[in-house]
Amino acid sequence: MSDTDDCGFVQFSSTKCGLNRDYPNETSKILLKACKKDIKGHLESNHIRRGDVKTEWELIAFRCGLFDTNTPLLDTKLICPAHRYRLGVRWRCPRSCQHPLHGTKKTKPYRNINLITSRQIFLTWNVLVSIGSGICRICKELHLAEIKKQQEQCSSIASSAATSVQKPVDEGSCSVSVTSGKSKATDPPMQHDDDDQPTTMDITPETSSGEDIVLPTAGLSEISQSSESESLPSSPRQLDKSYAPTPAPRNLTLASLNSFMRQGNYSEVTGQLLKPMAESKPSTVRYYKRKAQEGFNLVLHCLAPGQEDELMQIVQKGVVESSSDEDVTDSLVKCYHESSSSHTKRQILSILACNKTKQELQKLIPGLTVYRIDMARKHAIQVGQGQPVEIAPIQRNRMEEVKIDHFIDFVSRPEFVQDVAYGTKTMKLSHEEKLTIPNVVRTVVVSRIIDLYIAYCEETSFELLGKSLLFSIIQVCAASGQRSLAGLDNIAADGADAFVTLHSITVTVGELGFPAGWVSEMKGRIQDAKNYLKTDFKLNIDVNSTCANHCMMYALSDGRYCQHEHSTTCSRCNDVHQILVDLEEALGASTVKFRYKQQKQELAYDLQSAKESIERLQSHIVRKKNQERSKSDVLEELGPYETHITMDWAMKFLPNKFRESQQDWFGKKGISWHVTAAVTKSAEDTFEIHCFVHLVDQCTQNWFAVLSVLEASMMEIKKRLPHIDSAYLRSDNAGCYHCAPLILAIPSLSEQTGITVKQYNFSEAQAGKDLCDRKIAPMKSHMQRYVNEGHDVTSADEMWMALSSYGGIRGCYAAVVKLDDQSMTERVKWPGVTTYTDFTFAGEWIHVWRAYKVGPGEQLNMKTLLKSTIPQKSTNAKVSKYTIPRTATGTMAQSALSSVVEIHCTDSACVKTFCSQELLTHHLSHGKHQYRPITETKMDLVARKWAGKLTDVRPGTVSATTSGSLQYQAGVQSNIIEPGWALKESRTRRRFSEPVKNFLLDEFMRGVETGKKEVPANVAKKLKTRFAKEEWLTAQQIASYFSRLAAQQKSGLPFPQSTVAAEDEDAVSEVMYRRHLRSRIIEQCEL
């Protein structure tokens, strides 16, 4: 606020316009009548009667000498914060008497000046003494005496004037000379907002003789009545009707007019015309017309000497325009009544409010309140007359970030979503920012996820968000494609890409001359085959199926151990094979006209690659289901002295601060943490889960690190559960697990911990570690909640503190581990160890299988495998104190819920339902699904229930049936399937030729130099145009080669390298995605 931009009260105070230090947030000028703060305390502290002042703006006006609060001039006056509080509630009473009759001696006040006394002093002595100021006893007596004297003089003048109406009354005869005291200061000038008015008005009359100030008789008699409802003039000089307290007698009015006419050298008016103009004589009308013209001329001469005609024209023009504006006013009033919006009414009223008084507006619009008029005038000043107001949406953020993170972590669990390694989605934020995120598949419908989450919060006593808000949040997540913690394996990704390739080949063949009907039919068959492998195929796989495509014993052995016949065939499995055959025949048809010579060779290569990918996908599905049997069988037969241990490395945790600078965000090193979930069976025949989390600041996630944390976990299990003496291990196929040094160190581990490891089973990719993932999700949510409440998690020790906060996590024990790499022994080699999936330990012998319970397996001697190498003994790892959770175990017992919730299994093919989250977790951990063919009819369901009633048995685990779900046919298999077709095969690797490597190197360097890196799929297409078929490469092979080149570039430091390690990139991506998703949820769901 500049000094030149003064408000209308700068002349009433020595303070300059500006801000008030006690109210720094108030920075703009406001209307005077908008000042409505509570003044009760101010009135009591300054001994001011409440009846004198009712509002804050009246208090300010009275302290400025503006005693007529009904004048329209106050409606548009603006006041700055400095003058508002200087003249209002922040005004301070002086310590001495402030009456103008008081001398220079400082005397302690006797009373405080009220409103009536302040007006009397202002009109009598032309001095403004603020209401609430002090007055001594002597000045109080002198003041009352002077007022009484003036009242007596005014009474005598009024009575003498009434006896002689026709006698001209001199201006001095109806006034009282004030000689008892001189003015200390003049009244502050009062500003007007209209441009055609003078900017200031002096109180002192302009006289040539220098006589004393005179006061009107009517004004003094008005003061004596002491009525608060009456209006007094704002200055002794302004005595027109708008400020006159009461109408003066007619004789006095006529006398004043005659005095004014005499000063202009005009004859006096003989009398007032009381008879109607229409009934008066023409001579009388002409007389008063002439006197009116003389009065007009005299007024015009006084206002603008020498410019009387110009001023008269302006006045007459305004009268004409006012008559023409009546139609516009009527139209605006009509629009005001017809409008239903208060904002529109305010816009219309702002056009009328600035040119009319409040009384005129209330006559035009009946029922119009003063408040609406004030708001309309404020609108005209701040926004503009008739201008619309841009109403900013009110956004109330009622969602706590802790609760949002808790829900996101829940819906991100692997049992609800599954990653897709191919394809991306673009998520658009409210501020036009776009985020590219990976594709995912949601395996559970939204309503079921919400019900499951509510049940889970009731079990864990967590205060959740509202149900409607949860639906809004999950819609944002569904539109964005939620991201889970596990990545899809290359086999499944290549299989999905293979069907896309088949579709592309079909379209190309159609463009080259094949009939459109064949193309349309082939597209449908390809889509059906893809859906079949994703859904029904895994349901039909069985240990002893009569179909060779579905028999696990036949698919995972050499055929000698499958004793039953395969007399049936599956039409849908045959159709998958037939699609490939039909496409091969189409490429060799004579009707196909290729565009160039090499096109047929390229299409045949793509078809062969797609065929191999689809066959690997089928084998992967069979191996996956067979390996799941190992977990379910162990848990089914688990004894009270045994435990089943599942191991997995969690994604590295990036250090996180409550208030993190941009400098701290970049260059983070992730904290490694390993999860070991031990399942035991209690005396009540219920499963209990003990989860051991080991935190490591910096380590290489190799076999030695796994052995160290496994040793610590088993020793802690023995400490807490002394009765446990046997264990079954399970993990995925990561290199740190499925390696010779770790497997050959198991017997030594059993001796040191006192728990004998009987079996070690490896799960197929994308399966088997769901129990660890279900424990990792709530732990990450717990740590994020800890950070959101003002803490930092930047090291393993701080992670330990976060996991131990709030009573810990149910059934989870965390400890910080420091590895001793010096204790690691020489690495042992075991050729072909990765081809085995199941290991059983018995003394010095290891029994191995390529597939779980398929065939007799193979027995190997430990000494033969170790040769001269010494197996790993104790790892000498240092383990800190474990956190103690409030609830020691994650039990599977059913808890009492406030309402019954039907929760379905997250496996789309399983038909079991549960009434609590714990029971669902128990079911998922056990892995015993109850499948039913998808194509089974309702009548089949009725028959199945009826059979259950008749046999009076409880339904157990139902394997996939061979009736009703698919079309089976008796006969010979159309395509010859060899035994062991689903076993994992070691793929032959051949070296790239030098020309191919040079070509790939050129493409890589071009991307480095230009910044536009080549896409591997596009490079693969270029490769086909330059080299022979034997040297063609897939996009995956090219991507791997580019990755190796990038690693060499970083190690050689030819270009600036990233500060983030490759193993931390996934963690960085996840944290950034979570932050963007949470921001988008808040923006989309703000109320």
Check: CB of residue 418 under 8 Å from CB of residue 440. yes
Average pLDDT across the chain, whole number = 76
The residues pairing with 914 across neighbouring beta strands, listed in sequence order, are 903
> Over 80: is that where the pLDDT of 532 sits?
yes
- pLDDT score at 1067: 61
Confidence of residue 697 (pLDDT cuts 50, 70, 90): confident
pLDDT value at 848 more than 90: yes
Give yes or no for a contact between 840 and 758, defined as CB atoms under 8 angstroms apart.
Answer: yes
Which residue type sits at 635?
Answer: L
Which tokens sit at 758? 């009987």
* 983-994 confidence digits (pLDDT tens): 877 666 677 888
Which runs of E-coded beta strand occur in 492-632?
A: 568-570
Residue-level pLDDT at 529:
92
Residue 240 Cα distances to 110, 194, 244, 311, 992, angstroms: 37, 18, 6, 21, 107
Q: 598 CB contacts (<8 Å, ≥6 apart)? A: 1024, 1025
Rounded CA-CA distance 812/273 in Å is 106
Q: Is the pLDDT of residue 202 over 80?
A: no
Sorting pLDDT into bands at 50, 70 and 90, what band is 319?
Answer: low
pLDDT at 324: 59
Cα separation of 70 and 54, whole Å? 14
Q: Could you please report the per-residue DSSP string of 872-910?
A: P-----EE-PPP--SS-SEE------SS---EE-SSTTB
- Report the pLDDT value the prediction gives residue 302, as an integer from 0 to 100: 87
Reported as half-sphere exposure (CB side, CA atoms, 13 A), residue 789 has a value of 11
Query: Is 361:397 a contact under the CB 8 Å cutoff?
Result: no
Question: Is there a contact between 727 and 714 (Cβ–Cβ < 8 Å)?
Answer: yes
**pLDDT of 219 strictly over 70:** no
Q: How confident is the model at residue 504 (pLDDT cuts 50, 70, 90)?
A: very high
Q: What is the distance between the alpha carbons of residues 914 and 843, in angstroms, rounded to a whole number?
A: 43
pLDDT at 321: 55
Burial class (CB in 10 A: 0-12, 13-18, 19+), 709: buried
Burial class (CB in 10 A: 0-12, 13-18, 19+), 392: exposed
State the amino acid at position 473 in one-letter form: I
Q: Encode pLDDT of 96-109 as tens digits.
A: 898 888 887 778 88
CA distances from 968 to 569, 580, 582, 619 (A): 6, 21, 21, 21
Contact in structure between 347 and 387 (CB atoms under 8 Å):
yes
Q: What percent of the chain has pLDDT over 70?
A: 72
Cβ distance 540 to 966 under 8 Å?
yes
Say if residues 440 and 419 touch (Cβ distance below 8 Å): yes
| Residue 943: predicted pLDDT | 41
Query: Where residue 210 falls among pLDDT bands split at 50, 70, 90?
Result: very low
Token digits of residue 986: 């070691």
Beta strand segments in 326-404, E: none
Q: Does residue 173 have a pLDDT over 60?
A: no
Residue 187 reports pLDDT greater than 60: no
Secondary structure letter of residue 422 according to DSSP: E
Helix axes 250-263, 282-303, angle to 10 degrees: 60
- Cα 542 to Cα 328, 549, 556, 924, 959: the distances in Å are 89, 10, 12, 20, 7
d(CA 279, CA 273): 11
**DSSP secondary structure, 747-777, as one string:** HHHHHHHS-EEEEEEEPPTT-S-HHHHHHHH
Residues 6 or more apart whose CB falls under 8 angstroms from that of 1086 comprise 395, 396, 397
3-state SS, residue 211: coil
Distance from C-alpha of 521 to C-alpha of 529, rounded to nearest angstrom:
12
User: Which range (240-254, 521-535, 909-923) has the least confidence?
Assistant: 240-254
Per-residue pLDDT at 230 exceeds 60: no
Of 891 and 199, the structure prediction assigns the larger pLDDT to 891
- Residue 589 neighbours by CB distance under 10 Å: 11
Picking from 36, 39, 32, 37, the residue whose alpha carbon sits closest to that of residue 12 is 32
Token code pair at residue 646: 């599942």
Buried b (16+ CB within 10 A) or exposed e, 537-571: bbbbbbbebbbbbbbbbbbbbeeeebeeebebbbe
Q: 773: burial class by Cβ within 10 Å (0-12, 13-18, 19+)?
A: buried
Q: Mean pLDDT over residues 61-70, rounded?
A: 86
DSSP secondary structure letters along 496-508 = HHHHHHHHHHHHH
Q: How far is CA 725 from CA 199, 498, 690, 729, 882, in A?
A: 102, 48, 16, 13, 21
Residues 352 and 373: beta-carbon distance below 8 Å: no
Q: List 691's β-bridge partners, or say none.
A: 677, 812
Residues in the chain: 1087
Q: Please return the burial class of 360, using the count of CB atoms within 10 Å of its CB with bins 0-12, 13-18 and 19+.
A: middle
pLDDT for position 545? 87
39 Cα distance to chain centroid: 42
Angle at CA 923, nearest 5°, toward 920 and 927?
A: 140
Residue 77 has pLDDT above 60, yes or no: yes
Q: In 3D, which of 421, 425, 445 has the Cα closest to residue 495?
A: 421
Mean pLDDT value across residues 264-279? 83
Q: How confident is the model at residue 1020 (pLDDT cuts 50, 70, 90)?
A: confident
Report residue 245 as tokens: 């307290």
Residue with more model confidence, 77 or 694: 694
Dist. CA 666–CA 972, nearest whole Å: 63
**Closest-CA residue to 917 (of 418, 466, 449, 464):** 449
- Which of 672-681, 864-873, 950-959 is predicted with the least confidence, judged by mean pLDDT? 950-959
E-only strand ranges, 697-742 = 726-731
Over residues 361-379, mean pLDDT: 89
The SS3 call for residue 256 is helix
Residues 41 and 105 sit within 8 Å (Cβ to Cβ): no
Of the two residues 359 and 429, the one the predictor is more confident about is 359
Rg (CA), the chain: 48
| Distance (Å, whole) CA 108 – CA 508 | 108
Residues 120 and 116: their CA atoms lie apart, in Å, by 6
Phi first, then psi: give them for residue 689, nearest 5 degrees.
-115, 125
Asked whether 261 and 295 are in contact (CB, 8 A), the reply is: yes
Beta bridge partners of 675: 648, 693
Instruction: Say what the pTM is.
Output: 0.52
Residue of 1023 and 422 predicted with greater confidence: 1023
The predicted pLDDT at position 1046 comes to 81
In one letter, which amino acid is 796? A
Contacts of 330 (CB under 8 A, 6+ apart): none
Instruction: Provide the greatest CA pair distance for the chain.
Output: 148
- pLDDT tier at 195 (50, 70, 90 boundaries)? very low
User: Which residues partner with 31 through β-bridges?
Assistant: 78
- CB-hemisphere CA count at 13 Å for 673? 32
Q: Which two tokens stand for residue 1046?
A: 């990038």
> Nearest-CA neighbor of 706 among 756, 679, 743?
743
pLDDT for position 803: 92
Q: How far apart are CA 702 and CA 757, in angstroms?
A: 20
SS3 assignment, position 33: helix
Confidence (pLDDT) at 765: 76
Residue 844 has pLDDT above 80, yes or no: yes
More confident: 960 or 745 = 745
pLDDT tens sequence across 565-594: 888 888 889 999 999 999 999 988 888 888
Between strands 134-135 and 845-849, the pairing is: unpaired
Q: What percent of the chain has pLDDT over 90?
A: 16
- pLDDT at residue 895 in the model: 35
> What mean pLDDT do residues 822-849 have?
89
